[in-house]
Amino acid sequence: MAILKADGFRLKMHIRADYVPLTTSTALQSMQSLKHIIQYTLALIFLQSYFLQNVQAQTKVVYQEKFTEKSLSKNWEQVNGNWTIKNDTLYGESNREWAVLIAKKSLPENYILSFSMLADPKAYLFELMTNLNDNHFLGILLNQLENRVAIEDRAFFPKGDQMGSHIHTKGHIGRLPKVTKAAGAVWIDWKVQKTGNQIFIWMNDEEIISLKDTMGIAKPKGKFGFAINGKAKIKSVMLLKTKGEASLPPPDFKGRALIRPSFSFSE
């Protein structure tokens, strides 16, 4: 390889002994390889862009809540308890019975529901009510007293039962999944995905628990809401409608190890 170096106003040519000159054939092969690499890279970029656009097209934000006093009265039904707003955050507090709040927005058939919550360390239970139909819903409970997350078949009494209670476990006691989840005074980002008869729950991006509802507990669509035994804060509620590939079950969802029931009642 000839290398020109300036020496004053004269140019000297040095030949590198270790250099093997390219033949025309070798040069063409190198150019073809570079061309293939560029084409492959561009194809990957296109596929990635197409995939992201396709997934975005298959999810649609159908409800997003930035809590205000106006939105609380307009978009939510306050069944029981004390519900207030401060700095775009919803504060809920129970009285003698659960604090219960129901969204007026209906759920899509397949959806992703996300929100953030912070329960008071002294709060006993925080519950997400999903697919509320005819006073029956699938409850996802964060039990801080027992350090557990459980899925339960629940009944809802808007005006309270004979004892004034608004929520009871309806059936399938001891037959639905529950896992260990240590309580902590930290914000928890919830993500709940329902696809067909399956439901998956993440907390702070960790796969927590899932259910394949072969018993038909969760009816299609319906409403969602929150129930608190104690005090809690809620913010950043967002509901996505999914379809196509976006509504497929997440691959290889693990979840935490299930707690074995000590008993179950026959139905």
CATH number reported for the structural domain that contains residue 164 in this entry: 2.60.120.560
Residues in the chain: 267
Measured distance CA(154)–CA(166) in Å, rounded: 10
What is the percent of the chain with per-residue pLDDT over 70, rounded to a whole number?
Answer: 78
Confidence of residue 257 (pLDDT cuts 50, 70, 90): very high
Note the pLDDT of residue 177: 95
* Helices (H), ranges, the chain: 24-57, 69-75
Give kind and range of the element (H or E) at residue 203: strand 198-203
Are 267 and 172 within 8 A, CB to CB? yes
CA–CA distance, 27 with 212 (Å, rounded to integer): 59
pLDDT tens digits, 116-146: 999 999 999 999 999 999 999 999 999 999 9
Band of residue 57 on the pLDDT scale cut at 50, 70, 90: low
Categorize the per-residue pLDDT at 161 as very low, low, confident or very high, splitting at 50, 70 and 90.
Answer: confident
**For residue 252, what pLDDT is reported?**
94
Q: φ, ψ for residue 133 (rounded to 5)?
A: -135, 130
The band of 148, judged by pLDDT with boundaries at 50, 70 and 90, is: very high
User: Is residue 1 situated within a structural domain?
Assistant: no
Pair 159, 127 in one domain = yes
Would you say 69 and 78 are in contact if contact means Cβ atoms under 8 Å apart? no
Residues 78, 36 within the same domain: no
H or E stretch covering 172? none
Q: What is the span of the domain harbouring residue 44?
A: 23-57
Q: How confident is the model at residue 164 (pLDDT cuts 50, 70, 90)?
A: confident
pLDDT > 90: percent of the chain: 66
Q: Is the pTM of this model over 0.85?
A: no
Q: How confident is the model at residue 21 (pLDDT cuts 50, 70, 90)?
A: low
As a whole number of angstroms, the distance between CA 149 and CA 177 comes to 9
Region 146-173: mean pLDDT is 90
**Residue 257 maps to a domain:** no
Distance of alpha carbon 125 from alpha carbon 98, whole angstroms: 9
Residues 149 and 194 in one domain: yes
Residue 5 neighbours by CB distance under 10 Å: 9
For residues 76 and 93, membership in a common domain is answered with: yes
Q: What are 33-45's pLDDT values in tens digits?
A: 776 777 766 666 6
Q: Are 50 and 70 in the same domain?
A: no
Residue 64 CA: distances (Å) to CA of 12, 80, 98, 152, 200: 72, 23, 25, 26, 20
More confident residue, 171 or 156: 156
Quote the Cα angle for 135-139-141, to 5°: 145
Residues 75 and 47 in one domain: no
Q: How far apart are CA 105 and CA 76, in angstroms?
A: 8
Q: Are 49 and 134 part of one and the same domain?
A: no
C-alpha count within 13 angstroms, C-beta hemisphere, residue 54: 10
Read off the pLDDT of residues 213-229 as tens digits, 9 standing for 90 and up: 999 998 889 999 999 99
Phi, psi of 2 (to 5 degrees): -85, 130
Residue reference for tokens 């009285």: 95
256 in a structural domain:
no
Token code pair at residue 86 = 């401060």
pLDDT of residue 267: 46
What confidence score (pLDDT) does residue 42 get? Answer: 65
**CA–CA separation, 234 vs 69, rounded Å?**
14
Domain count within the chain:
2
Residue 14 has pLDDT above 70, yes or no: no
Distances in whole angstroms, Cα of residue 3 to Cα of each of 8, 14, 15, 30, 252: 16, 5, 7, 22, 58
pLDDT recorded at residue 171: 77
Give a yes or no: residue 196 inside a domain: yes
Helix, strand or coil for residue 245?
helix
